[in-house]
Chain A
Amino acid sequence: MNWMRWLFAFIFLPIILSIITGDVGIAYISLLPASALAFAILFEPPSGFRGEREVEKTLLHTGDETEVRVKLSVEKGSGPVVVGDVLPPSFELVEGKNRHVFFKRPGERLEVKYRYRVRALKRGVYFIPPLEVEGKHLLGIESSRYAVVSDGVEVRVSPRLVEIRKSILVRRRGRLGLPPAVKTAIGFTSTEFKEIREYRPGDSIRSVNWKASARFSKLLVNEYEREGYLTVMFYLDGSDSMAVGGYQSGAFETAIEFLVPVIDYLLKQGYQVGLYVLGHEYWIPPMSGSSASSTFRKLLIPLGMTSHNESLPLAVEKTRYLLSGGVIPIVITNVNPGSVSQLSLGVKNLLKLTRVRPIVVDIDVYPAAGSAGTLISLRKKKLAESIPARVIRISRADKRAVSRFMGVLQ
C-alpha cells in the first residue's frame, strides 16, 4: 500500500465532501493527514553516513576468532537506519550480530558503535566487502538512501597445522624413501655442471649447448646439478569428484588440511616438493627450502574446486619431464567407481616414468556418515585394491593421518 496515496485521499475526500454538503466543518478532518504529510515531506530519509570498521586480526587459522568493531554516524534525516556486513559464508557468528537497526531522530546526530565476534571455519583468502548502510524514510514515501562505507577487508585463514611430534621427526629424519644425501634429478638447477645430454621436450632453450649441437649435428643441452635432495611430487584432485561431504569439512578440505602440513614438513627436511592440481591445471615445479612453503600456501589457501575434470593420465603426461630420477609420486583423490579406471591408468604411467611405486591418498569422508558411510567405505576399499599403488585412506576424524602417511613413505 502506498501511504502517500492514502494520505492524499484522506486529505481531499473530506474537503470534497464538505463542498458537496456545504458543511465546512467536515473539511477540518483533513488536518490530521495534512499534518502527517507535511512532516513526511519536511524530513528526508536518514543520510550523511560515515562509518569505520576495524577487524582485530586479519591473519587467522581455522577455528580462530576475531572481533569486528564498527562505528557509524548519521548526520541528516529521520527514520530507521539498517547497517550490516556481508560476511563470507565460512565465518560463523559467535557473539553479537553483524546486522543492526537504529533509529535516527529528527534534528539529532546518530552515533553508534557495536562489535561482534566471528569464527573462521574454513581456510581461504576472504574479502569482507564494505559496510552497507540503508536509511529508510519513516513513512516510506521516499526511496531509501543507500551507501557502502568504509573499506573492504581481506582476511587470510590458514589451515590449522597438525603438530607432528618431535619424536616422529627425529626418528624419521633421513629415512624418507631414499637417503637424503642422494642428489635429486629434478628441481631448480645449481651452477654445478653435471654433463651434456640430448635435448628433451620441456628443456629450456637457454640450456642448449649450441657449439656441441653443431659439432654432433643434434640438439644437446648442458645438464647442471639440481638443488635439494629427493623429490616428492603431489597430484591433488581439484575436480568435482572431491565435492563430497560438507562444504566446510568435505573431501577437498580434508585433502588441503592434510597436504599443507605434509608439504611444510617435507620442505623443512630438505626435500624437493612439487604440486600439480588436477582440474585447475595449476602446478608448482619441485622446490626446496622452507621459504618455498609460502609459495605452496599461496596456491593452496584460496584454492577451490572446479567443475573441469582432468584425468590423471593427462596430468602425468603434462608433467612427465619432471618425473625422472627418484621422484616419489603421490596422488590425493577420492577413489570412486567413476574415476578408478583413469586413476589406475595414471598410476601405471607414474610407475613407468618414476620407477617408484606411487602412493594414493584416498580421502574418505564417509566414516562420519554412520552405517551407510561404512558401506561406502568398504566399497572404496574394494576399489582401491584394483589400483597398482600403495593406498592410504585418510578421514577427517583421523588425527594421526599425517603421522601414518609419514610411516608409509619410509
Chain B
Amino acid sequence: MRLDELFSVSLVTVATLSPAFSLSRYFEDFSKSIELKIGIHIAPIFLSLLTMLSLVLYLFYIRKLRPSWTVAVLAVFYAVPYLGGIPVKEIPSITLAAIPLGISIALVPYVEELRAQVHYLISAGVRSEEINAIVVEGFKTIGFALLPGVMLLTYLLLSTGAGSRPITLLPTFLIIPLALILGLILTSIEQDRDEAEETILVLRAYMVAGDTFRIRKGTLWEEGYELLIEGGSPVKRTVLISFPVSEVPKFVILRSPWDTKFLSGKMETIENGKRYLLFLETMSRAPSSPDSASAPP
C-alpha cells in the first residue's frame, strides 16, 4: 500500500470515530459567533453543508484532486475539530455517521475504476446510452454487494447502543478469514474445471500496415518468431490476427513493409476449452533496435 493511501485510510477511520453531534455543535458555535458579530442567524446545518460543498468544489473541480484525496480531505475536515482535545479513550463509539461515510469511501476506488472504463469505452466509440446503463447496473450491483454489510452494521449498532455494549456472540473477526477461505475454495474449483484443449494466439497491434495484407511466416527464433504482413496500401490501423499454436512463443515480431512491432504476452484466458493468449505491443526495445532513437543509424 502506498503511503498516501495508508494516510488517507487512517484519517478516514479516525474520522468515523468522531460523534456526529460534536460536528453539529461546532457549527452551532460558529453560527452563534456570526450572529453576535453581524446580527444574522444562519442555520448550523446550512453552514456545514455550505462548507462541505465549497470544499468539494474547490478540491475536486478547481484543484482537480482525485476523488480518493477529496474524500480523505473531507474526512480530515470532519475530524479536525475533535482531534485536538478529545482523548481516543473517551470516544464512546463509532456513530451512525460512519455508515454513509464508510459506503462512500468503499465506493471511491470503484468510481475511479468506472471512470477509467468509461473513458476507454468512449474512446472505443461505444454509445453513451450503453455506458450510462453500465454505470447504473454497476452501482446497483455494488449496492447489492454492500447491502448485507450495511444491514449487519446497522443491526449491530442499534443492538449494542452504537457499540458501547459490544456483543461477543457474533464472531465479527472471523467473517473476513471465512470469506477469504470460501473464495479460495471456489477459485480452486474453478481452476480445476479450466482445461484447455487448444491454444489460440491472438496478436493485436496498432501500426502502419497494408489495408489488404496477407500473413507470411518470417524468421523463427528459439523463443519466438516473426510474422510478415505484406500487401495492400499503407494505412495506420489496428491489426488483429488469431491462429492456433502448438508451442507458446515468448514474443512475436509483427513486421509490415512500413512498420515493426514487438509483441509480448499480456493476458491468458481459458474459454470454452480454448486457451487464448493475447499478445500486445510492448514499448521495451533493445538499445540497438533500429526503432530506438538512441540506436546508431
Contact = CB atoms under 8 A, between A and B. Distances in A.
Interface string B153-197: 100110010111010100011011001101100110010000000
Interface string A22-54: 011111111111111111111010011110000
A21 B124 contact: no
B103 interface: yes
A261 interface: no
B172 A27 contact: yes
B172 to A, nearest CB: 6
A3 B113 contact: yes
B271 A49 contact: yes
A3 B121 contact: no
Q: How large is the interface on B (under 10, 10 to 19, 20 to 34, 35 or more residues)?
A: 35 or more
A32 B234 contact: no
Interface in B122-167: 124-127, 130-131, 133-134, 137-138, 141-142, 144-150, 152-153, 156-157, 160, 162-164, 166
A298 to B, nearest CB: 12
Contact of B93 (A26, A47, A97, A124): A26
B240 interface: yes
B165 to A, nearest CB: 8
A8 to B, nearest CB: 8
Interface string A127-142: 0011010001011100
Q: Give 8 nearest A-B pairs by CB, closest first.
A: A25-B163, A35-B149, A41-B183, A39-B145, A24-B166, A304-B232, A103-B137, A124-B212
B149 A5 contact: no
B6 A36 contact: no
Given A25-B93, A29-B16, A124 B211 contact: yes
B109 A3 contact: yes
B102 A138 contact: no
Contact of B146 (A6, A11, A32, A305): A32
Contacts of B240: 86, 129-130, 132, 148
Contact of A302 (B109, B212, B267): B212
A42 B182 contact: yes
Interface of B: 1, 5-6, 9-10, 13-14, 16-17, 68, 88-89, 91, 93-94, 98-99, 102-103, 105-106, 108-110, 112-113, 117, 121, 124-127, 130-131, 133-134, 137-138, 141-142, 144-150, 152-153, 156-157, 160, 162-164, 166, 168, 172-173, 175-176, 179-180, 182-183, 186-187, 190, 200, 202, 210-212, 231-238, 240-242, 257-258, 267, 269, 271-272, 274, 276, 278
Contact of B137 (A97, A98, A105, A152): A105
A3 B173 CA distance: 21
Interface stretch (A76-84, A339-347, A356-364, A385-393): A76-84
Interface of A: 1-3, 5-7, 9-11, 13-15, 17, 21, 23-42, 44, 47-50, 78, 80, 82, 84, 86, 88-90, 97-103, 105-106, 122, 124-126, 129-130, 132, 136, 138-140, 143-148, 152, 243, 247, 252-253, 302-307
B148 to A, nearest CB: 5
Contact of B121 (A40, A82, A122): A82
A138 B142 contact: yes
B271 A48 contact: yes
Contacts of B138: 80, 103, 138
B183 A38 contact: yes
A48 B193 CA distance: 12
Given A10-B106, A29-B16, 19 more contacts: A1-B68, A1-B109, A1-B112, A30-B175, A35-B150, A35-B152, A36-B142, A39-B145, A42-B183, A47-B271, A89-B236, A90-B211, A100-B127, A130-B242, A145-B269, A147-B274, A148-B202, A247-B211, A305-B234
A102 B136 CA distance: 12
Nearest to A76: B190
Nearest to B12: A10
Contacts of A130: 240, 242
A38 to B, nearest CB: 4
B94 A25 contact: yes
A88 B271 CA distance: 26
B168 to A, nearest CB: 8
Nearest to B1: A5
A15 B5 contact: no
Contact residues of B: prevailing secondary structure: helix
B117 to A, nearest CB: 7
Residue in B99, B103, B126, B168 with the greatest tally of chain A CB atoms within 10 Å: B126
Contacts of A41: 179-180, 182-183, 186-187
Contact of A101 (B126, B231, B241): B126
B109 A37 contact: no
Contact of B172 (A2, A30, A129): A30
Contact of B211 (A34, A122, A143): A122
Nearest to A40: B145
B228 to A, nearest CB: 13
Contacts of A106: 141
Contact of B150 (A9, A32, A99): A32
Nearest to A104: B137
Interface residue SS majority, chain A: mixed
Contacts of B89: 21
A150 to B, nearest CB: 11
A247 B52 CA distance: 55
Given A21-B88, A28-B157, A34-B175, A97 B127 contact: yes
28 contacts: A1-B109, A6-B109, A9-B6, A14-B13, A21-B88, A23-B93, A23-B163, A29-B94, A30-B176, A31-B172, A35-B145, A35-B148, A40-B145, A47-B269, A80-B138, A89-B237, A98-B125, A101-B126, A102-B130, A103-B137, A103-B138, A129-B241, A129-B242, A146-B278, A247-B211, A247-B235, A304-B231, A307-B257
A44 B187 CA distance: 9
A36 B106 contact: yes
A9 B68 CA distance: 14
B234 A34 contact: no
B200 A148 contact: yes
A284 B121 CA distance: 48
B233 A252 contact: yes
B211 A31 contact: no
Contacts of B16: 14, 29
